[in-house]
Amino acid sequence: MPPSMKPKIAASNPNLHRRFHDVASYVSELGGSKGRVIEKVLIANNGVAAVKAIRSIRRWAYEVFGNERAISFVVMATPEDLRANAEYIRMGDIIVDVPGGSNNHNYANVTLIVELARLHGVQAVWAGWGHASEKPALPNTLAKSDPPIKFIGPAGPPMYALGDKIGSTIIAQNAGVPCIAWNGSDVVATYDIETGTLPEEAFDKACVTSALEASEAASKIGFPIMIKASEGGGGKGIRMVDSPDHVQNAYRQVCGEVPGSPIFIMKLSSNSRHLEVQLLADEYGNAIALNGRDCSVQRRHQKIIEEGPPVAATPDAWKQMEKAAVALAKAVGYTNAGTVEYLYSEAEEKFYFLELNPRLQVEHPVTEMITRVNLPAAQLQVAMGIPLYHIPEIRELYGKNRFEDDVSNGKSVIDFDVTERVAPYGHCIAVRITAENAEAGFKPTSGGIQELNFRSTPNVWGYFSMDSSGSIHEFADSQFGHLFASGIDREQARRNMALALKEMSIRGDISTTIDYISKLIELDDFVENNIDTGWLDKIIKSGGIKVLNSSLDESEGRKTHLNGLNNDTLVVIGSTIVAYDQCAADEKTFLDLLERGQLPSLSLLKMIREVELILDGVKYKICCTRIGNNEFQIAVSDDATKCVTASVRMLSDGGYLIDIGGKSQVAYQTSKGDAASGMRLNINGKSIAFSPDYDPSCLRTDVAGKLVKKLVPNGAHVKKGSAYAEIEVMKMFMPLKVEESGVITWANNEGAALAAGDLIANLELDNPENVNTATVFKGDLKVNGWGPVNAPPSSANSRPHIILKKAINRLKCGMAGYVLTPGAINCVMHDISDAVTDPLLPVYEINEQLSVLNGRIDGSLYKELEKLITDFKENSAGGSKSRFPADQVKHLIALQMGRVKDESERAGFNALTTPLVNAADPYTKSRSDLVPGAERVLDSFLDILREWISVERWFCDGISYADSVENLRKVNKSDVSKVLQICRSHALLKSTAQVVLTIINAIAEAGKTDIASEKVTSVVLGADGLEDTTPCLTDIASMRGNETYDVLSQRCRNVLIEESLPSIEERMGRILKVVRSLEGSGDDAAKPIQDLINDNVQGSDILFPLINDNVQ
């Protein structure tokens, strides 16, 4: 092993504490034959799951590598989570915007997750719990990526088999694991470990497919029963039924909660415990049980309190439960973390298989506290191909050294079947903190949080998905925190938790369950551990417990870290904030003037801001060009050829989320700065102070106070370092001193109240030339993303639909009044050309809409559409030049629509599939095989032209700016922001006109080019909608008022004339016919020529092609 790869010894005993140089050296020494390096992970989750994963792995990374950032995290952020100021967004290394709304648009969208993983070059994806964590399509698709991306969890086949409640029960009962009576008790089947499947007929036999079947199965099993959706979870898709009269209605409710999920029915085991075994398995056939948990305190089958170890089970019974869980995992070739859940009857000392969750569970820290195994870190290590017996915490759990000097001789192998675990480390109780109103039936609530006060102690710790400045949005999980209390036994852990809940305070728009649970764990039944899965529901049914409100006033500070940012990056962050605030302030002034009936100046809407910041004695003169609502190009003022793009968004607590070159930072402006003191920022928890411009000729105070005494008279000469005045600040008197020698002239009188930055006096310097000023920065900024302003597009890692969306959005930003230079227009058109000529453009645009419909439309239709896309991709990869059959997408949807008889269902299906049909429609109207996206782009171009016309109609034809604004104000009395938007667009008329001219030229070129041509002359070549451009061209042709309008007007008139002419081919053919008729025509030669002249046949654009063709 090279010296640089040797692990670093961090303690006298290397078998206990060792530090490794990096991830590669760790995997090289401890990994097996399947070892792989993972240094960048996509967190495909949000909320507490993302927070817990990042914190756990960073803690492990520091212990192993001495660097908590050895593993970098890419996190997904919806607009709702951004507005909620979610904690995990601040923790991520790279923040990626994803669509908002329900999770099928973001965290549960497999297609989106895989695409983000590929684009950001991650080696692995962690999905945690919920969302896409139990979708076999995720590990399957990641494994097929090029290069393959590791899913931190089980492979797709065992996930599919065991993650399905019906499939896992069939596998369990055929593996000899005790199962409670259910409708599939007599199903016999063999699990295929290679394909990860059960025989289809066996699975179908175990499903209940109608309400009538449900009634029959329930009667056979005997009441009470549970009707469950195989794909349900978290309290959804499950109903308890205690009489035959309610079976069919409950069945329909379960079907409605989890549409499309298979349904099964099982016997309800009354007075039973819900116990679960924590599994961990590696890629070499090893599987172990990491003790387990008791999750019996539930409300409608949603866990409220979890604890471990499960002391209710006898030692022998618990041992059998662990062995059965391990055997089940090995039988299906399971890898990574999982949980086997049982129902346990204390009276009979028997257990019954309930289900296997093929993922980590939210309550896993209970196991971590009693075993001291960091589960997210263990998951990562298993994904790296490290055997269980080489994971230090697992070795310690089985009484071995954390590390061995030599792992190559097999001495480090542990036989887990015969080696005993060490005893649990005390007891742990966990409480979920949810935004629910316990007094209103646990109704979920949403809103802002003004205070979150929780102080960790040695015995109680917790984590939350936001802090005092956050909020719970309508798409968030109601759980936003988790508390864990430990003790030497259950009673000590319970007391520690009770005290922590009493001291905790959350204040805001939401309701929480804190006070309710605080009372709950004080009840005698809980204290004596006399509970079961129906205990809490019985309490609620009998009237519940009275909750008393309580509150505290203290708040908890937020802990963040600075990620080694250099001065250049800090300046870019500061400049972006200054420019953004200036633009926002000027726009507010613009709106205020409008509302007061005054005429605001267009200069208030300027898009270029010059910012000067001084940091560590260096003055940065920065030019900030606004290119979008929240985007700026940051350049050094004396060199406009290079820049970096920065985006900025306001957080709900007044912070700024700034992305620079793909790296996100959170900044807070603690002081705007003034003439006496510079701007102060808090960036990732560190305070950054910019210096004011050094001007010793202006004597100012940097604090607020009162001028008590002038120490020298007006016109006196003062020496450098001498005091010239005294001010009173917070009942203290402070002297003010001059920094250079000169003659003083007072600007304020004694007794004057002074604000920070106020001018007290002027100083005429003796030697102004000797004053040391800050060095002006020259050169390139060393920041991520720095490069040429109009650099060639880098589309190697981008799909055509992404390129097209970005390009169209860039044009629309330019048309909205943000800066779009001619060079940028050329780059955008180049991107559009690349995208629309890519035969895979329709595939990705249609697939993007199709991915949202997974599980929401008929499965067979989804598979047909998916196969259509997959087949085309394979054919394209094989060299096929065919076009994607977009019309078949519309046809298949139309056929399915015809099969739906119920009118309300048809309306629902139509609403679901309309976005997909709209995505496919333009690709049925593009006639050129070379430009499949022509119609798609033309639609966007027409939107841009119509919007531009609607703006400039207010200003053209010689209407003055003042009259235009007055007319706009009258029309938009209720919303003057529309006036601002129109004026902002008009303010950059020359730029928007350049975009319009570019679009007109593209339309003109397409209109006079034969679609059979082998040359792409226009991005809208072959679009069916070219005829629809005439109204827009006609409107623009009628505009007058200045040179810009005149140029566009003339160009549109020329295009309209060209469109009215016969095609180039027709005119060339007629002229050639006339020329050939002259041969031997004698006296009749003049007639065809005269006819040509009389018909006014244009020939200027075909003269050279004619000559060229005849020469050849």
Please identify every residue annotated as catalytic: 359
Give the integer Cα–Cα distance in Å for 31 and 16: 18
- Long-range contacts, stretch 489-494, CB < 8 angstroms, 24+ apart: 489/426, 489/427, 490/307, 490/311, 490/427, 490/429, 490/529, 491/527, 492/426, 492/427, 493/307, 493/426, 493/427, 493/428, 493/429, 493/459, 494/429, 494/521, 494/526, 494/527
Task: Encode 421-438: b = buried (16+ Cβ within 10 Å), e = exposed.
Answer: beebbbbbbbbbbbbbbb
Give the integer Cα–Cα distance in Å for 129 and 48: 10
Return the bridge partners of 898, or none: none
Return the beta strands (E) in 234-347 as ranges: 236-241, 263-267, 273-281, 287-299, 302-308, 336-345
Give the integer Cα–Cα distance in Å for 1035 and 841: 32
Token reading at 157: 């086949």
- Specify the residue for token string 């309008």: 1045
Return the bridge partners of 448, or none: 471
- Specify the residue for token string 């451009």: 1029
Return the beta strands (E) in 661-738 as ranges: 663-671, 680-683, 686-689, 698-700, 705-710, 717-718, 723-729, 732-737
Token reading at 239: 């109903």
In 822-933, which residue ranges form alpha helices assigned H by DSSP?
822-836, 841-852, 859-877, 886-899, 903-920
Give the integer Cα–Cα distance in Å for 853 and 489: 49
Give the integer Cα–Cα distance in Å for 847 and 512: 40
Give, in order, the Cα–Cα distances in Å from 358 to each of 44, 69, 317.
16, 28, 23
Judged on CB neighbours under 10 Å (0-12, 13-18, 19+), 617 is exposed
- Looking at residue 103, what DSSP letter applies? G
Give the integer Cα–Cα distance in Å for 328 and 339: 11
Give, in order, the Cα–Cα distances in Å from 435 to each of 366, 497, 505, 994.
22, 19, 13, 52
Least Cα distance to 293 among 357, 234, 231 occurs for 357
Edge-first strand order for the sheet with 225-233 is 236-241, 225-233, 263-267
Give the integer Cα–Cα distance in Å for 684 and 1026: 52
Token reading at 277: 């075994």
Give the integer Cα–Cα distance in Å for 265 and 223: 11
One-character DSSP codes across 954-985: TT-TT--HHHHHHHHHHHTTT-THHHHHHHHH
Give the integer Cα–Cα distance in Å for 576 and 581: 8
Determine if the peptide bond prior to 1062 is cis (ω within 30°). Answer: no
Task: Encode 384-407: b = buried (16+ Cβ within 10 Å), e = exposed.
Answer: bbbbbbbbbbbbbbbebebbbeeb
Give the integer Cα–Cα distance in Å for 586 and 109: 40
Give, in order, the Cα–Cα distances in Å from 819 to each of 122, 651, 796.
34, 25, 26
In 388-489, which residue ranges form alpha helices assigned H by DSSP?
392-397
